[in-house]
Amino acid sequence: MSLPVESILTHLNLPLQPPPTAATLDALLAAWAARIPWESASRIAYHQDAGTPDDYARPPERFFADALRLGTGGTCFESNLALRALLDALGFEVTLHFCDMRSATVNPHCATIVPLDGALYLADVGYPVAGALRLDPAAPTERETPSYLFRAIPQGDGRWQVRRMARNGFDDQAFVLKGEPVDMEQFLARLLRDHEPDGLFLDEVILSHTGPDGMLRYSEGLGLVRRTADGEERVALSAAESADLPRALARLFAFDEGMLRRALARPNRPD
């Protein structure tokens, strides 16, 4: 696998030869959250073409090519697989892990774990967590980001419950991280399963990125909102922006307008 590492780091506004340290990991995750969106629009748009899961699934090379050219990102499986490939190329050790959520879906989420200087760190661009969250097997740990405070609570069985919280009292279990690494064959099989007709995130266009002023998130269900550690507030669109939503969202998220038009105009879009 060969990635255009320098082009990716330039896209993320990061130094071209960063050392594999905890500070580098933290900066990379914050930059990723700001520049490579968590989004389902590209997945929905690609699924409008006839194909198989192998056609729709994007390996890291294609993931980053799309990100650099179109401003796209992805959902958890492809995003964290791409993160693993980039971290590998930068000299980090990294393992892939499945996560449980309050869902009937088997292994609905994934993340990576990165060991550094005798400690373990959660690195998850597929939720996303806009920073490195240290994992302690004996005590809770926390990492404040512009959108949430994340807390990892050890469960005593090689797992961590990861919670997201805000200063307004919001406290929610995001997922349970399983400490057992997943081999690539297992991971790719789960990724392909997510591109079956009943896969996740094929029914609603969602885009989000997280910068210093919080998370800007659009969904067809809730509209445009901003999330910070103080809570969530709606972001009003002008009449002109509402009249041409794909153009407005393309500008707000630095995202390919044609991709958004295709996703938002899909034939099976719910009323």
CA separation, residue 94 to residues 19, 20, 63, 145 (Å): 15, 11, 19, 22
Mean pLDDT of 111-115: 98
Which band of pLDDT confidence, cut at 50, 70 and 90, is reported for residue 103?
confident
CA separation, residue 143 to residues 25, 132, 175 (Å): 13, 7, 15
Nearest to 246 by CA among 214, 210, 218: 218
Mean pLDDT of 144-155: 97
CA separation, residue 166 to residues 13, 125, 145, 214, 256 (Å): 28, 19, 10, 12, 32
pTM of the prediction?
Answer: 0.96
* 45 secondary structure, DSSP code: H
Nearest to 100 by CA among 173, 38, 164: 173
Can you tell me whether residue 176 is helix, strand or coil? strand
CA atoms of 101 and 118, how far apart (whole Å): 28
Torsion of the alpha carbons at 109, 58, 36 and 207, rounded to the nearest 10? -70
Q: Is the dihedral of CA 95, 101, 104, 105 positive or negative?
A: negative
Evaluate if residue 136 carries a pLDDT over 90.
yes
Token pair 């340290």 is found at 21
Q: pLDDT by residue (tens digit) across 61-96?
A: 999 999 999 999 999 999 999 999 999 999 999 999
Evaluate if residue 271 carries a pLDDT over 60.
no
Pairing of strands 159-165, 38-39: unpaired
Task: Give me the percent of the chain exceeding a pLDDT of 90.
Answer: 94
Evaluate if residue 49 carries a pLDDT over 80.
yes
Q: pLDDT by residue (tens digit) across 188-223?
A: 999 999 999 999 999 999 999 999 999 999 999 999
Instruction: Specify the CATH class of 5-264 in words.
Output: alpha beta
What separation, in Å, do the N-terminal and C-terminal C-alpha atoms of the chain show?
Answer: 42
Can you tell me whether residue 145 is helix, strand or coil? coil
CB 222, CB 211: distance < 8 Å: no
Task: Give me the percent of the chain exceeding a pLDDT of 70.
Answer: 99
